[in-house]
Chains A and B, each alone.
Chain A
Amino acid sequence: MRRLAAVVLAALLPGLAQAELRIFSCEPEWAALAEAIAGDLVEAQSATSARQDPHYIQARPSLIAAVRRADLVVCSGAQLEIGWLPALLQKANNRDVMPGSPGYVEASSFVVRLEATADVDRARGDIHPLGNPHVQTDPHNIAIIARELGARMAELDPQNAAGYETGLAAFSDAWEKAIARWEERAAPLRGRRVITHHKSWVYLERWLGLEEVANLEPIPGLPPTVSHLSQLVSRFADGGADFIIRSTYQDEKSSEWLSRRTGIPQIMLPLTVGGSDAAVDLYSLFDDILDRLLGVLEK
């Protein structure tokens, strides 16, 4: 009889029956990281996919419902999600994940953010005064954030703390080895000059020693214009750059146009997990980024 009551109760209260931590991630890389550390201990959902520009997301009803049920919200931060995350948090009525509570993690706050500035003049474009939020393109940043995220998951789910610690140790170990492997492979890229669509790649550039020489956007956040692209054509007519890089969600027309006129090869790089067929997790994300960059050099 008691067992029957327990079964009925478990059916009525699905939230109680599941021991796992529900994670709402703003971007795919943090959901992938949580899963890489914690495996089945967590159920991680990403609000955005690699095919979406994370600056411009609708505060959709489904996302409000997901935040309402989350135990942990993890986002890049540095105002990347300022156009939609505050609306989700305000509507979702979940006090456990409000900024300032243990259930809210701002990933970029744990690493050194580049391009932070006191100059917030919007005539210079969509500036993030707290720094560039696309921190996931440097695997050293991921290693730091993994430790913080692992500790936070253990804090929120103390019953499984040992599981998170073991998972974190295993991930950190494997990740350090992978970084060493990537750095060895990437040596030929050092000093190469890149033109990027948006300033999405500054952490990758710092890591690999790439030099960013121009952007397709005339100022950050504004779509490429014909006049700006024409200027780039005359500036790079005789070379001066090795790659034109865009992310999965960025329109390919501009980089293809510039590539045709300058002969500089253009490539799409996955900015996050899911950004290409090969980038199915964090490891294959960096494998694929290097494959694509090195593939151009081999041609």
Chain B
Amino acid sequence: MRFDPARCLLILLPLVFCSTALSQDDDIESLRRAVAELRSDYEARIGELERRLAVAEQNARQANATAQKQAALQPPSAVAGRRSGQGAFNPDLGVIFSGTAWDHSVDPDGNDVPGFPFGGEAGPIEQGLGLGETEIDISANVDDKFTAWLTLPLALEDGEIVVEIEEAWIETTALPAGLSARFGRFFSAFGYLNEKHLHAWDFADQPLPYQAFLGDQYIDDGLQLRWIAPTATYLELGSEILRGARYPAAGADPSGFGSLSLFANLGGDVGTDSSWLAGVSWLDASAADRPSGPEDDPAIFNGDATVTGAHFVWKWAPDGNWRQRNLILQSELMWKNDAGLYSLPGGGPALAYDTDQFGWYAQVVYQPFPRWRFGARLDGLSADDAGPAFAGTLLETPSDDPRRYSLMADWSNSEFSRLRLQYIRDEAGLEDGHQWGLQYIHSIGAHGAHAF
């Protein structure tokens, strides 16, 4: 609003003129008040204008001083008044490149983990040189109430380029009371690692419980609700209702509401050096004709799968200065129960199956100085006896619990590039062996902030 004397007069003059024609005192009094109000209103606006002028002058003075001094200091390049952060370009676009060079001492084909036929995307890293996944991330705020994210992995399958929609979700940014809703296709918030993108993993592969129980990572279509408590200690409660189309669900229940999850997370700091996160989660998934095990002749499961998880993460850095030195301790436990009917490869009648399985991992990653990190991981599986009907089949519980011992070292030139060396002593498959591998993870363009 500009101060315009002409307009002011236009308003004031008729008022003054009218007032002379009025006879009653209180009318005059009320007019005086109106005029006084108008005056104070304009005075306030003039005051505001003067304040803005002072700011502008200050800025101009500074800009002037900058211009003079910059000749000596640096090339002139100054921009003021621009907001920054996410959305400097719309939409944010990023590409993540990753690939591996991997050697298995035992051919991974036919060396499956006995008793735990894998489903979904789970499986060993490709022998030899492999492109892995090239991932395109596109994200932006839709408007003042919604934000959107799209992940498009490009993969080569049998020589053909395949574009998938890995994630495509919308999330609210303006719900009250600490609530948010996400809908579309997304990684379930089950557990700790399930939501993490491949490029944020500390090892090149997922630990055994994720491979055996969640098909590497559980992604599905649906709706997620989250609530953050207004407390000094971090408390998050959430739930998801999902279509139930992906392992450990399958067939999307006929209703299209096949899976339900619940999760709770708690976290905080201990002094300035340490912070922690602990959580529990639960997933109930109905499975119709769910394949697992050998791709050409899989075991088919019909029934109900429930997975319960608990996780704990501890991060430490001296003075909380993450850049220089840091340590991450992380562990998850998972219990899975499949209850229903299994049809085994080779045909035959469906067999009743109701078995509890258990999986776990624990890992430590240490960065002693900038750029270099070293890590170790233990992961394993165990299960109750599946019963005599499954003796000699791929569901027979192994006499030795599957277990692996992994070591890794990675080097990051910047936060956008990482090269990793990993070793696995693999005692999970039918035959024990070693794996050696190299992995690269590089990103260009926009790169989203990483969650804890």
> Which residues of A does B touch, CB under 8 Å?
15, 48-49, 51-53, 55-62, 64-66, 68-69, 77-79, 81-88, 90-95, 98-100, 106, 108-117, 122, 125-126, 129-131, 140-141, 143-144, 147, 202, 205-206, 209, 211-212, 221-223, 249, 251
Determine how close the nearest CB of chain A comes to the CB of B102; give it in whole angstroms: 28
Interface segment among B10-18, B30-38, B67-75, B256-264: the answer is B67-75
Q: Is B226 engaged at the interface, CB distance under 8 Å to the other chain?
A: yes
- Nearest residue in B to A148 (C-beta to C-beta)? B55
In the complex the two chains form, is A99's CB within 8 Å of B85's CB? yes
In the complex the two chains form, is B80's CB within 8 Å of A49's CB? no
In the complex the two chains form, is B62's CB within 8 Å of A85's CB? no
Residue among A68, A93, A141 with most chain B CB within 10 A: A93
In the complex the two chains form, is A65's CB within 8 Å of B233's CB? yes
Besides A53-B322, A56-B323, 15 other A-B contacts (C-beta < 8 A):
A49-B320, A51-B319, A60-B269, A62-B232, A64-B267, A69-B230, A99-B85, A106-B83, A113-B78, A114-B66, A114-B77, A122-B416, A211-B72, A222-B414, A249-B323
Contact among A15, A53, A82, A109 with B449 in the assembled complex (CB-CB below 8 Å): A82
Q: Is B265 engaged at the interface, CB distance under 8 Å to the other chain?
A: yes
Q: Is B371 engaged at the interface, CB distance under 8 Å to the other chain?
A: yes
Residues of A within 8 A of B65 (CB): 206
Q: Report the 5 A-B pairs with minimum CB-CB distance, sorted nearest first.
A: A61-B267, A61-B234, A87-B449, A116-B79, A51-B319
- Nearest residue in A to B178 (C-beta to C-beta)? A93
Contact among B79, B147, B175 with A130 in the assembled complex (CB-CB below 8 Å): B79
- Nearest residue in A to B315 (C-beta to C-beta)? A58
Determine how close the nearest CB of chain B comes to the CB of A83; give it in whole angstroms: 5
Contact among B78, B268, B371 with A223 in the assembled complex (CB-CB below 8 Å): B371
CA distance A68 to B339 in the complex (A): 41
CA distance A206 to B186 in the complex (A): 48
Question: Would you give 28 A-B contacts (Cβ < 8 Å), ordered by A?
Answer: A48-B320, A49-B319, A51-B272, A51-B320, A53-B321, A53-B322, A53-B324, A56-B322, A58-B275, A58-B315, A64-B236, A82-B449, A85-B85, A86-B448, A93-B179, A99-B87, A100-B144, A111-B59, A111-B80, A112-B63, A122-B416, A125-B414, A126-B415, A202-B74, A206-B73, A209-B69, A222-B413, A223-B371
In the complex the two chains form, is B80's CB within 8 Å of A113's CB? yes
Residues of A within 8 A of B63 (CB): 112
In the complex the two chains form, is A64's CB within 8 Å of B234's CB? yes
In the complex the two chains form, is B82's CB within 8 Å of A109's CB? yes
Q: How many A-B residue pairs have CB under 8 A?
A: 213
- Nearest residue in B to A144 (C-beta to C-beta)? B58
Residue among B55, B227, B321, B416 with most chain A CB within 10 A: B321
Residues of A within 8 A of B444 (CB): 122
In the complex the two chains form, is A65's CB within 8 Å of B78's CB? no
Residues of A within 8 A of B451 (CB): 59, 87, 91
- Nearest residue in B to A130 (C-beta to C-beta)? B84
CA distance A66 to B69 in the complex (A): 40
Q: Is B174 engaged at the interface, CB distance under 8 Å to the other chain?
A: yes
In the complex the two chains form, is B322's CB within 8 Å of A57's CB? yes
Residue among B59, B62, B69, B235 with most chain A CB within 10 A: B62
Chain A proximity mask over B265-306: 1 for CB below 8 Å, otherwise 0:
111110010011100000000000000000000000000000
In the complex the two chains form, is A106's CB within 8 Å of B85's CB? yes
In the complex the two chains form, is A147's CB within 8 Å of B176's CB? no
How many chain-B residues does the 8 Å CB contact rule pick out? 75
Contact among A58, A140, A205, A212 with B62 in the assembled complex (CB-CB below 8 Å): A140
CA distance A203 to B130 in the complex (A): 48
Contact among B268, B321, B371 with A61 in the assembled complex (CB-CB below 8 Å): B268
Residues of B within 8 A of A60 (CB): 267, 269, 275, 315, 452
CA distance A157 to B65 in the complex (A): 35
Residues of A within 8 A of B236 (CB): 64, 91
CA distance A110 to B234 in the complex (A): 32
Q: Is B180 engaged at the interface, CB distance under 8 Å to the other chain?
A: yes
Determine how close the nearest CB of chain B comes to the CB of A23; give it in whole angstroms: 15
Q: Is B370 engaged at the interface, CB distance under 8 Å to the other chain?
A: yes
CA distance A68 to B84 in the complex (A): 21
Q: Is B231 engaged at the interface, CB distance under 8 Å to the other chain?
A: yes
Q: Is B163 engaged at the interface, CB distance under 8 Å to the other chain?
A: no
CA distance A15 to B178 in the complex (A): 14
In the complex the two chains form, is A15's CB within 8 Å of B230's CB? yes
Q: Is B228 engaged at the interface, CB distance under 8 Å to the other chain?
A: yes
A84-B449, A212-B73 given; A113·B79 CB < 8 A: yes
